[in-house]
Amino acid sequence: MLKLFKTIQRAGDVTVKYPFKPMEVSPGFRGRPEYHAQQCIACGACTVACPANALTMETDVAAGSRSWQLFLGRCIFCGRCEEVCPTRAIHLSEDFEMAVTQKADLFNRATFTLLSCRLCHQPFTTDKSVEYAMALLTQSGMDPASVEEMRPQFETCPACKRRQSLDNHGSTNLNYHVGEKNALAGN
């Protein structure tokens, strides 16, 4: 018995003094998600990837805005939002203490203005996402002047782009005719 007490005394404290001293966490610990709205392009990838539905995004076409919201009360700290975010606007911190006095403090919100289509004037995406796409093209080595010439395409909604591609404005689809001549020449 005395031998056991000596072993226990040499071992020291086996618990941490957590509330009175900060708790050290392991590297790679997944804690509270931190969100940086200035980096976000409101693409919605994080809301699709979130298995707990802690992330939501709502588009109000009448107001021309898109609202992003994180409810920490539902978050399971899986890290999927961090993995899919193209701009690294979300990352998991090492902070795990989330005690609050009001439930509203568990919500993190951001609102983005929507860009209207050049043709139909309906809001369809955020201006930050258009700027991000153009910056990616410039960074890939494309000439900045050429990228700027493509701005009207980026600022056109998918429905209007579809309508434009179906309406050839009286011109002939060369791919169709070249393929048809090649098929006749082969016979």
Strand segments (E) across 22-147:
33-35, 55-60, 65-71, 90-92, 107-116, 123-126
Q: pLDDT-derived band of residue 178, with 50, 70 and 90 as boundaries?
A: low
How much is the pLDDT for 48? 95
Q: Model pTM?
A: 0.70
Closest CA to 155 of 110, 113, 125: 125
Strand, helix or coil for residue 159: helix
Could you state, in order of their start, the residue ranges of all structural domains in the chain?
A: 17-114, 117-164
The confidence score (pLDDT) of residue 168 equals 61
pLDDT at 167 (0 to 100): 75
Domain 17-114 - what CATH class?
A: alpha beta
Sign of the CA dihedral with 7 first, then 9, 11, and 13 last = positive
Report pLDDT digits (tens) over 52-65: 999 999 999 899 99
Q: Do β-strands 107-116 and 65-71 pair in parallel, antiparallel, or remain unpaired?
A: antiparallel
- Read off the pLDDT of residues 148-159 as tens digits, 9 standing for 90 and up: 999 999 999 999
Q: Determine the residue type at 75.
A: C
Instruction: Look at residue 110 in the predicted model and tell me its pLDDT.
Output: 94
pLDDT for the residue 182: 52
- What local confidence, expressed as pLDDT, does residue 186 receive? 53
